Amino acid sequence: MAIPLSYNLRNLVVRRTTTLMTALGIALTVAVLLAVLALVDGLHVTLATSGDPRHVLVMRKGGTSELTSLVTRAQFQDLKFHSGIATGSDGQPLASLELITLISLQAEGSGTGDNVTIRGVMPAGIAMRHNVKLVAGRWFRQGVNEAVVGKSLSDQYPAARIGKKLRMGRSDWQIVGVMDAAGGAQASEIWGDVNQVAADWNRSLYMSSALVEAPDAATAKALVNSIGDDTRLDLGAELETDYFARQTQSAEPIEYTGIFVAIIMAIGSSFAAMNTMYAAVARRSREIGTLRVLGFSKLSILTSFWLESVLLAGLGGVIGCLLVLPLNGVTTEVGANFSQLAFAFHVTPESMVAGVVFAIALGSVGGLFPAAAAARKEILSALREI
Partner 1 sequence: MRFLPLILRNSWRNRRRTLLTIASIGVSMCLLGVMIAMYSAFWLSKPRDNQALRLVVRNRVSLAVFLPLAYQQQIEKIPGVREVMVDTWFGGVYKDAREARNNFPRFSVEPGKLFTLFPEWSIPEDQKQAFIHERTACVIGRDLANTFGFHLGDRIPLQGDIFPGNFEFTVRGIFDAASNSDVMYFNKEYIDQALPERRRGFVDTFYVLIDDPQHSSRIAEAIDAEFRNSTGATKTESEQAFVVGFLSMLGNVRMFLVWISAAVMFTILLVSANTMAMSVRERVREVGVLKTLGFTPGTILGLILGEAAAISVAGGAIGYLISTLLLKGVQRSPMGGFLPALRVVDPLIAAVCIALAVSIGLVSSLVPALGASRAPIVEALRSTD
- The footprint of partner 1 (CB under 8 A) covers 17-18, 21-22, 24-25, 28-29, 31-32, 35, 60, 62-64, 67-70, 101-104, 112-115, 167-170, 201, 249-250, 253-254, 258, 261, 264-265, 267-269, 271-272, 274-276, 278-279, 283, 332-335, 338-340, 386
- Minimum CB separation of residue 110 from partner 1 in Å reads 9
How many whole angstroms separate alpha carbon 146 and alpha carbon 14?
A: 68
Q: Which is nearer to partner 1, 225 or 249 (CB)?
A: 249
Q: Which is nearer to partner 1, 126 or 279 (CB)?
A: 279
How many whole angstroms separate alpha carbon 161 and alpha carbon 155?
A: 8
Residue 213 carries which side chain, given as an amino acid letter?
E
- Minimum CB separation of residue 46 from partner 1 in Å reads 13
Q: Which is nearer to partner 1, 106 or 131 (CB)?
A: 106
Q: Which is nearer to partner 1, 267 or 293 (CB)?
A: 267
How many whole angstroms separate alpha carbon 318 and alpha carbon 250?
A: 30
- Minimum CB separation of residue 90 from partner 1 in Å reads 33
Q: Taking a C-beta distance cutoff of 8 angstroms, is the pair 280, 308 a contact?
A: yes
SS3 263: helix
Write phi, then psi, for 51 (nearest 5 degrees). Answer: -95, 160
Q: Which is nearer to partner 1, 1 or 386 (CB)?
A: 386
Number of other residues whose CB lies within 10 A of the CB of residue 216: 10
For residue 95, give Cα distances in angstroms to 47, 54, 91, 246: 21, 12, 12, 22
Q: Which is nearer to partner 1, 56 or 265 (CB)?
A: 265
Q: Which residues contact 74 (CB under 8 A, 6 or more apart)?
A: none
- Minimum CB separation of residue 213 from partner 1 in Å reads 25
- Minimum CB separation of residue 104 from partner 1 in Å reads 4
Looking at residue 93, what DSSP letter applies? B
- Minimum CB separation of residue 276 from partner 1 in Å reads 7
SS3 308: helix
